[in-house]
Structure 1
Amino acid sequence: MNKVTRFFWFCSGAHVATLKKYPIEHNKYVGIGATIFFTALFASLSGGYAMYFVFSGNPLAVVFAVLFGLIWGTAIFNMDRYIVASINKQGSTNSQILQASPRILLAIMIGIVISRPLELKIFDKEIREKLKFAYNKGQHSKIDTLQKTYTDKYAQELSKNKDLKAEKDSLEKDINRSRYQLNQEVFGDKTNQTSGITGYGTYAKQKAAVLAEKEARLKTVTDDMGKMDQYLATRKNYEGLNNLKLFSDHQLDSLVNIAGFADRNWALGQLSYNSNGTRDLDTYMAESFIAYLFILFECLPVFVKLMSPRGPYDVALAKTAEANMHYAERDKERDIMVTDETYDYHVGNDIENRKRIISGQSAYDAERYRYD
């Protein structure tokens, strides 16, 4: 437990040597350090998960995800540790809040960045269904666009083929009617289209000739239609229409499995809207709750530091900082003094100056020891 405690103290950015003197402050900084540590842990998982989808399909995707997750988590850890450690408890409440404002804004941004990849994992099933629908809709749109391009490009040929088909249908009906009338003429059925004379006479021969002419025209039209259909089929294959089909369930699953971070992020954003464009309040609240939770979790160490009263550790830390400033100033003065005296010694070759340097150094050390 001592090792765990010291580790969380380190995470909190506290000055361990000073903090150890005040047991009443130990638990507070253990809590702050634990919050910072677990925030960094969530950041590692979030960053690694996001990077896994960036390199999805690559054999080294897991290696890249682990490496980036560790780097990202370490960066967030260092940033949070600095944010908490840099809040000064010496000023008034308003000055502390003003001092912490940029840090709170930064913590909010970090919370948003951390929460998004984890939301992708939490709503993975819904995202997959949304992507399947989007991919199918996109395929429909692609087919429709190609079909329209093909229709516009070969409008003349399609119109001619349509006319040939209409003529073929008309000829087939006319031929059936003419063949029936020929039979009536041959068998002597009296109608307003036949003579009523039995046998293959003059009228029958005329009708047979008309029928042969129509059949010859039908053959020509049919041949032209076949050639046109073959040409249009070749053009359709050239334009890529024959290769485009709606995705099967297996193909959709494969596409969703290799979907990148951008597609999944887009699908997550679309989950909060219904098909008619109105907002789905339940899904929106669920997504927002997760984001707010991580933002609060990220801001929690700063809030704890702001809300906690000024304790003995803060007072001791302020005195230590003041003492260090004093030492720095005295060291600076001593360095200037030693430099000047040494210069005089070398220039004037005065042994007494050297003694004063040594005695001044000893006096300074004695005074510093007394101050400590």
Structure 2
Amino acid sequence: MNKITRFFWFCSGAHIGTLKKYPIEHNKYVGIGATIFFTALFASLSGGYAMYFVFSGNAFAVGFAILFGLLWGTAIFNMDRYIVSSINKQGSTNSQILQASPRILLAIMIGVVISRPLELKIFDKEIRQKLKTAYLKGQHSKIDTLQKTYQQKYAMELGHNLDLKKEKDSLEKDINHSRFELNQEVFGDKTNQTSGLSGYGTYAKQKQAVLQEKETRLKTVTDDLGKMDNYLGQRKDYEGLNSTRLFSDKQLDSLANVAGFADRNWALGQLAYNANGTRDLDTYLAESFIGYLFILFECLPVFVKLMSPKGPYDVAVAKTAEANMHFAERDKDRDMAVTDEVYDYQLENDVEHRKKIITGQSAYDIERHSYE
């Protein structure tokens, strides 16, 4: 327990030597240190998952995720530790809040950043379903667009093809009716359209000629229709209509698995809305509370430091800092005085040296005098 306590003291950024003298402050800084540690731990997990998601499918994805998770967690740990340890408890409440405001804003930003990847993982199943629906809807829209473009581009050919089909259907009906009348004429059935005389006579030959004329026209229309269908089929291949199909369930699963961060982040945002565009309150509150939880967790060390009253440790640290500043100023003045003395001594020696040169002393005497 002593090792754990000292570890959390280290996490809180406290001066352990000073903190040991005040047992009443021990638990407070254990709590602050534990909060900072677990915030960094969650940040490490969040960053590791985000990196694993980026390199998903790569053989080194796990290694990259672990390495980035450790680096990201360490960075957040160091930042939180600095934020908490740099809050000065000597000022008034307003000054402390003003001092902590930039740090709270930074903590909120960090909370948002570390919460998003974990939200993506928590709502992974719902995100996949939303992505499948979006991909299927997008494919429908793509096919409709291609179909509309194709119909506008080849409107004349499609109109001519439709006319040929109508003429073909009409000819087929007429041929069947003419063939029936021809049989009635040959077999002598008396109707409004037949003479009632059996045998292959004049009327039968006339009806046979009309029938052959219609069959010839039907053959021509059928050939033209086949050529037009072949041409339009080639145009569909060229425009991509024949190659564009709706996604199967297997394809949708594959697309959802390889979806990028932008698509998944969009899907997570869309979970809070129903199909008719209204807000789904339950999902919205679930997403919001997860984000708020991480933001609160990130801000908690700062809030704890602000809410805690000024204790003996804070007073001792302030006095130590003040004493260190005094010693630093004193050492600075002393160093400046010594520097001035050295400079004056060097200047004096330099003047004496010049005088000796002017009076004609030899270089040997000057050097010996300097040595002595």
Query: Normalized against structure 1, the TM-score is what?
Result: 0.91
Query: How far does residue 349 in structure 1 lie from its aligned partner after superposition?
Result: 4.8
Name the counterpart of 1:50.
50
Question: In 1, Cα distance between the equivalents of 2:202 and 2:74?
Answer: 106
Query: How far does residue 2 in structure 1 lie from its aligned partner after superposition?
Result: 2.1
Q: Answer yes or no: is the 8 Å Cα contact 1:274–1:280 preserved in 2.
A: yes
Deviates more, 1:230-239 or 1:34-43: 230-239
Name the counterpart of 1:229.
229
Question: In 2, Cα distance between the equivalents of 1:5 and 1:222?
Answer: 93
Question: In 2, Cα distance between the equivalents of 1:160 and 1:222?
Answer: 13
Name the counterpart of 1:346.
346
Name the counterpart of 1:243.
243
Query: How far does residue 43 in structure 1 lie from its aligned partner after superposition?
Result: 0.7
Query: How far does residue 205 in structure 1 lie from its aligned partner after superposition?
Result: 0.5
Question: In 2, Cα distance between the equivalents of 1:166 and 1:73?
Answer: 73
1:77 maps onto 2:73 in alignment: no
Query: How far does residue 254 in structure 1 lie from its aligned partner after superposition?
Result: 1.1
Question: In 2, Cα distance between the equivalents of 1:128 and 1:346?
Answer: 80
Name the counterpart of 2:356.
none
Q: How many residues are treated as equivalent by the alignment?
A: 350
Question: In 2, Cα distance between the equivalents of 1:189 and 1:348?
Answer: 152
After the TM superposition, which residues 65-144 of structure 1 pair with which residues of structure 2 at under 5 Å, given as runs? Answer: 65-144=65-144
Query: How far does residue 75 in structure 1 lie from its aligned partner after superposition?
Result: 1.5
Question: In 2, Cα distance between the equivalents of 1:76 and 1:95?
Answer: 25
Post-superposition, which runs of at least 4 consecutive aligned residues in structure 1 deviate over 3 A? Answer: none
Deviates more, 1:327-336 or 1:340-349: 340-349
Question: In 2, Cα distance between the equivalents of 1:275 and 1:32?
Answer: 45
Q: Answer yes or no: is the 8 Å Cα contact 1:53–1:259 preserved in 2.
A: no
Name the counterpart of 1:355.
none
Amino acid at match of 1:85: S
Name the counterpart of 1:309.
309
Query: How far does residue 65 in structure 1 lie from its aligned partner after superposition?
Result: 1.9
Deviates more, 1:147-156 or 1:163-172: 147-156
Question: In 2, Cα distance between the equivalents of 1:287 and 1:157?
Answer: 54
Q: Answer yes or no: is the 8 Å Cα contact 1:56–1:260 preserved in 2.
A: no
Name the counterpart of 2:288.
288
Question: In 1, Cα distance between the equivalents of 2:39 and 2:302?
Answer: 12
Query: How far does residue 27 in structure 1 lie from its aligned partner after superposition?
Result: 1.1
1:319 maps onto 2:299 in alignment: no
Query: How far does residue 348 in structure 1 lie from its aligned partner after superposition?
Result: 2.8
Question: In 2, Cα distance between the equivalents of 1:43 and 1:229?
Answer: 62
Deviates more, 1:189-198 or 1:167-176: 189-198
Name the counterpart of 1:336.
336
Q: Identity of aligned pairs, percent?
A: 85
Question: In 2, Cα distance between the equivalents of 1:293 and 1:129?
Answer: 26
Name the counterpart of 1:32.
32
Query: How far does residue 227 in structure 1 lie from its aligned partner after superposition?
Result: 1.2
Report the secondary structure of 2:186's partner residue.
helix
Amino acid at match of 1:52: Y
Question: In 2, Cα distance between the equivalents of 1:145 and 1:115?
Answer: 39
Deviates more, 1:138-147 or 1:298-307: 138-147
Question: In 2, Cα distance between the equivalents of 1:87 and 1:32?
Answer: 13
Query: How far does residue 80 in structure 1 lie from its aligned partner after superposition?
Result: 0.8
Deviates more, 1:30-39 or 1:46-55: 46-55
Query: How far does residue 233 in structure 1 lie from its aligned partner after superposition?
Result: 1.4
Name the counterpart of 1:186.
186
After the TM superposition, which residues 151-230 of structure 1 pair with which residues of structure 2 at under 5 Å, given as runs? Answer: 151-230=151-230
Question: In 2, Cα distance between the equivalents of 1:177 and 1:10?
Answer: 102
Question: In 2, Cα distance between the equivalents of 1:173 and 1:65?
Answer: 73
1:263 maps onto 2:286 in alignment: no
Query: How far does residue 64 in structure 1 lie from its aligned partner after superposition?
Result: 2.2
Output the aligned Cα RMSD: 1.3
Amino acid at match of 2:266: W
Q: Answer yes or no: is the 8 Å Cα contact 1:12–1:84 preserved in 2.
A: yes
Q: Which runs of 5+ in 1 are unaligned?
A: 351-372
Query: Normalized against structure 2, the TM-score is what?
Result: 0.91
Question: In 2, Cα distance between the equivalents of 1:231 and 1:60?
Answer: 51
Query: How far does residue 58 in structure 1 lie from its aligned partner after superposition?
Result: 2.5
Query: How far does residue 313 in structure 1 lie from its aligned partner after superposition?
Result: 0.5
Amino acid at match of 2:98: L
Query: How far does residue 325 in structure 1 lie from its aligned partner after superposition?
Result: 0.6
Note the alpha carbon deviations across 1:70-114, whole angstroms, 9 max, x for none: 222111111111110111000111111111111111111111111
Deviates more, 1:164-173 or 1:59-68: 59-68
Q: Answer yes or no: is the 8 Å Cα contact 1:130–1:271 preserved in 2.
A: yes
Amino acid at match of 2:343: Y
Amino acid at match of 1:292: Y
Question: In 1, Cα distance between the equivalents of 2:69 and 2:153?
Answer: 52
Q: Answer yes or no: is the 8 Å Cα contact 1:47–1:65 preserved in 2.
A: yes
Report the secondary structure of 2:81's partner residue.
helix
Amino acid at match of 2:267: A
Question: In 1, Cα distance between the equivalents of 2:346 and 2:139?
Answer: 89
Question: In 2, Cα distance between the equivalents of 1:346 and 1:197?
Answer: 152
Query: How far does residue 55 in structure 1 lie from its aligned partner after superposition?
Result: 2.2
Question: In 1, Cα distance between the equivalents of 2:248 and 2:33?
Answer: 51
